[in-house]
Amino acid sequence: MPRHLALLLPLLLLASPAATRLASAACAGEKFPAGRAYASCEDLPKLGASLHWTYDASKSSLSVAFVAAPAAAGGWVAWGLNPTGEGIAGAQALVALAGAGAAAPAVRTYNITGYVPLGKASTPLDFPATDLAADAAGGKIRVYGKLQLRKGMKAVNQVWQVGASSTGGAPDKHAFQADNLGAKSKLVLAGKAPAAAEAPSPALAPEAGGPSAGGDSGAGASSSTAPSKSPNAAVPAAGVSAPALLALALVGFLAAVW
Ligand SMILES: *[C@@H]1O[C@H](CO)[C@@H](O)[C@H](O)[C@H]1NC(C)=O
């Protein structure tokens, strides 16, 4: 019994904020231009950013809109998938740099291979990117793109970032606050469909909804939370802190060159 509780507590701690987040789902209120609609959205845990996406599993193609406010007007926003690690090295990134005046933001792609500053020229991604575009609305920059993923990908690390300025068309280094360094998570492509009503761990639903809020956050929120948390992430969660700290330190180091 106590052992169960001990296991359950960290799960609840993990699940409750996520459930609350999804229940309030600020991202769901985003109004995109006509012709841009996405099946899923997620308020990312840091930097006030959100990701909107549609994953076509039959084609392994991922359409995304990443939304974030640059750290200052004239700055940049970036989002990427990292198929090889948790940090920035290896990220396949879409970057949008604020345009001058009313000009649309400029979109770049960067295959971030290591600890070198990004140039002003795009580099090809491991996930070929098409339909690149960006716009600015309400102080935020929205980057659009379609990535050709590898067949069978189910979940992949994502990273995102915001910066305050660009020089000569290349993004300048960003800040090193905790939010900057913690801007990473796992994007779950499979099992995250809006209709994923049958949560694999129904035991979490009443628990997660109960203490955090009233009745309305229960069913809807936890059903979409469970698929991303339960299969792999939830169980080893208790042991994650040490590696996570290491990764954080690594990200901090890598971030120096962004
Ligand atoms: C991206 O960078 C990695 C590491 O240098 C390299 O192996 C890979 O071929 C690059 N991908 C593309 C599409 O250039």
Tell me the three state secondary structure of residue 56.
strand
Ligand 1 geometric centre to CA of 6 (Å): 43
Q: Does residue 56 have a pLDDT over 60?
A: yes
Q: Rounded to the nearest whole angstrom, what is the distance from the C-alpha of residue 111 to the centroid of ligand 1?
A: 7
pLDDT at 100 over 80: yes
pLDDT tens-digit series, residues 112-122:
987 678 899 99
Q: What angle do CA 146, 147, 153 make, to 5 degrees?
A: 135
Sort residue 168 into left (φ over 0), alpha (ψ -120 to 50) or beta.
left
Confidence tier at 124 by pLDDT (50, 70, 90): very high
Q: Kind of pairing, strands 184-188 and 155-163? A: antiparallel
| Helices and strands (DSSP H and E) totals, the chain | 5, 12
**Would you list the domain boundaries of the chain?**
39-222
Best mutation site among 82, 111, 115 for ligand 1 pocket (most ligand atoms within 8 Å of CB): 111
pLDDT in tens, 203-252: 433 433 333 333 343 333 333 333 333 333 333 333 444 444 444 444 44
Average pLDDT, integer, range 173-196: 81
Q: What is the pLDDT of residue 2?
A: 53
Question: pLDDT higher for 252 or 148?
Answer: 148
Q: Whose CA is nearest to atom 14 of ligand 1?
A: 124
Percent of the chain with pLDDT strictly greater than 90: 57
Whether residue 24 has its Cβ less than 6 Å from ligand 1: no
Please tell me if the CB atom of residue 111 comes closer than 6 angstroms to any atom of ligand 1.
yes
pLDDT above 50 (res 186): yes
**For residue 253, is pLDDT > 90?**
no
Residue having the nearest C-alpha atom to atom 8 of ligand 1: 126
> What six digits make up the tokens of 38?
């996405």
Residue 107, beta-bridge partner list: 96
Virtual CA dihedral for 38, 86, 237, 215, nearest 10 degrees?
Answer: -20
Query: For position 89, what pLDDT does the model report?
Result: 92
Indicate yes or no: pTM above 0.85.
no
Atom of ligand 1 nearest to the CA of 128: 13
Q: Is the four-CA dihedral 36, 183, 191, 23 of positive or negative sign?
A: negative
State the pLDDT at residue 251: 43
Higher pLDDT, 15 or 182: 182
Evaluate if residue 193 carries a pLDDT over 50.
no
Determine if ligand 1 sits within 6 Å of the CB of residue 126: yes
pLDDT of residue 4: 53
Question: In CATH, what class is 39-222?
Answer: mainly beta
pLDDT of residue 221: 36
126 C-alpha vs ligand 1 centroid, how far in Å? 6
- pLDDT, tens digit, 9 for 90 and up, residues 62-74: 999 999 999 999 9
